Amino acid sequence: MNARQYSSLWLPILLLFGGLFLAGCGATAPVVNSINTPDTLETGESGNFRASIENEEDADEPLTYTWDYGDGSTGSGLNTSKAYNSTGQYTVLFSASNEGGADSSRAMVTVVRPPQPAQITSINANPNPVDAGNQVNFSSNVQGDSPIDYSWSFGDGNSGSGSSPSHTFESAGQYTVQLEASNNVGSDSRSVTVRVNRDLPEICTTVSEFNSAFFGRNSSTLTDEARKSLQENTDLLSQCPNLSVRIEGFAAPGERNAQSLSEDRAQAVADFYSGNGVQSSRITMSGEGEVSGVTTKKGGTREYRRADSIPQR
């Protein structure tokens, strides 16, 4: 084959590849003009991401638009939306491409946690209950963004501030103490009940023994003398709300039905107390049956026929 024949063979091939090359070089690549992203987002908040192409009308189609949000997720199109689940700084990459080439642009998005309103998780009073005239120390645990304002209402007309105030209640009673905590994005309130006992006489903290009630043989009926002794006990119980009473009934050797008789004697004393204003919740009792051993009660021969009242704190 001569040179002229080779030339006529390669000429169509060169023209074909040359045309294809020129066609590719002639495609207009997109040019990214700008991207518009949020500077800051809260976790869970959806933001709008927009891009503009400087030569959108001239760039050859098909055009591909992709977003890389910097957290492993992607999107497509000129306008998209996105929410981040974790705080941090993310580099967002937008790319536009076609057969003629590609262009891209980057932006930085900072993701923060949402504002935290004030929320009271606990409120405490110590001591509680407390005697009138003694100081109560309050404490609280409040979560949320600073600064947090603390407003206390002590239920007796007085108020306070701060996370851990102190207050003295001058009068006996039950007080509902309320705390309101607030910041720029919300508020919360919670209360605690403080029981204030009246200032007690010294005997209420020192008394260790009450009067016993003595009975006739085989009897559970209170005598006038027993009533007088029990009235003194009742007066002390009315002065001393910190005290309760345990009643133990006894029977002397030789008395009939010792166990039931001892129970009846304890019941007679309990009935006297409850009939004179002592709450039943402050009274417990038991029948101890026949006395055994030596007693220290100074009742003479009747010392075994008795019911003891034992103060309880």
CATH superfamily of 32-112: Immunoglobulins (2.60.40.10)
Q: What is the mean pLDDT of residues 72-80?
A: 96
CA distance linking residue 163 with residue 121, whole number of Å? 12
Q: According to the model, what pLDDT value does residue 155 have? A: 96
Instruction: Return the half-sphere exposure (C-beta side, CA atoms, 13 A cut-off) of residue 89.
Output: 3
Q: According to the model, what pLDDT value does residue 23 have? A: 44
Among the residue ranges 152-161, 221-230, 301-310, the one predicted with the least confidence is: 301-310
Nearest to 169 by CA among 126, 125, 136: 136
Nearest to 250 by CA among 300, 299, 301, 308: 308
Residue 283 has pLDDT above 70, yes or no: yes
pLDDT-above-70 percentage for the chain? 89
Strands 213-214 and 173-183: unpaired
DSSP lists the bridge partners of residue 237 as none
Q: What is the mean pLDDT of residues 131-136?
A: 91
Q: Do domains 32-112 and 119-197 have the same CATH topology?
A: yes
* Domains of the chain, residue spans: 32-112, 119-197, 203-312
Nearest to 289 by CA among 312, 313, 255, 238: 255
Q: According to the model, what pLDDT value does residue 51 have? A: 96
Q: According to the model, what pLDDT value does residue 8 have? A: 53
Among the residue ranges 10-19, 58-67, 230-239, the one predicted with the least confidence is: 10-19
pLDDT-derived band at 242 (thresholds 50, 70, 90) equals confident
Our measurement of the distance from residue 7's CA atom to the centroid of its chain's CA atoms, rounded to an integer in Å, reads 92
Q: What is the full DSSP assignment across 173-232?
A: EEEEEEEEEEETTEEEEEEEEEEEEPPPPTHHHH---PPPEE--TT--PPPHHHHHHHHH
CATH superfamily of 119-197: Immunoglobulins (2.60.40.10)
Q: According to the model, what pLDDT value does residue 293 have? A: 64
Q: Helix, strand, coil shares of the chain as percentages rounded to 5?
A: 20, 40, 35
Task: Decide: 144 and 118 in contact? Cβ < 8 Å.
Answer: yes
Q: What is the full DSSP assignment across 127-166?
A: SSSEETTSEEEEEEEEESSSP-EEEEE-SSS-EEESSS-E
Q: What is the mean pLDDT of residues 284-292?
A: 93
Helix axes 258-275, 224-239, angle to 10 degrees: 50
Q: According to the model, what pLDDT value does residue 20 have? A: 40
pLDDT-derived band at 228 (thresholds 50, 70, 90) equals very high
Q: What is the mean pLDDT of residues 22-48?
A: 87
Q: Which residue has the higher pLDDT, 259 or 1?
A: 259
Give residues with Cβ within 8 angstroms of 1, minimum separation 6: none
Q: According to the model, what pLDDT value does residue 25 have? A: 53
pLDDT digits (tens, 9 = 90+) for 163-192: 999 999 999 899 999 999 999 999 999 999
Nearest to 297 by CA among 263, 275, 288: 288
Q: According to the model, what pLDDT value does residue 201 have? A: 85
pLDDT-derived band at 255 (thresholds 50, 70, 90) equals very high
Largest CA distance in the chain: 157
Q: According to the model, what pLDDT value does residue 298 have? A: 54
Residue 129, preceding peptide bond in cis (omega within 30° of 0)? yes
Q: According to the model, what pLDDT value does residue 202 have? A: 86
Q: In whole numbers, what is the pLDDT of the chain averaged over residues?
A: 89
- What CA dihedral angle connects 195, 199, 205 and 211, to 10 degrees? -100
Q: What is the mean pLDDT of residues 259-267?
A: 97
Size of the chain in residues = 313
Q: Which residue has the higher pLDDT, 88 or 242?
A: 88
pLDDT-derived band at 225 (thresholds 50, 70, 90) equals very high
Q: What is the mean pLDDT of residues 239-265?
A: 94
Q: According to the model, what pLDDT value does residue 24 have? A: 45
DSSP lists the bridge partners of residue 137 as 126, 166
Q: According to the model, what pLDDT value does residue 9 have? A: 52
Helix (H, G, I), strand (E, B) or coil at 87: coil
CATH of domain 203-312: 3.30.1330.60
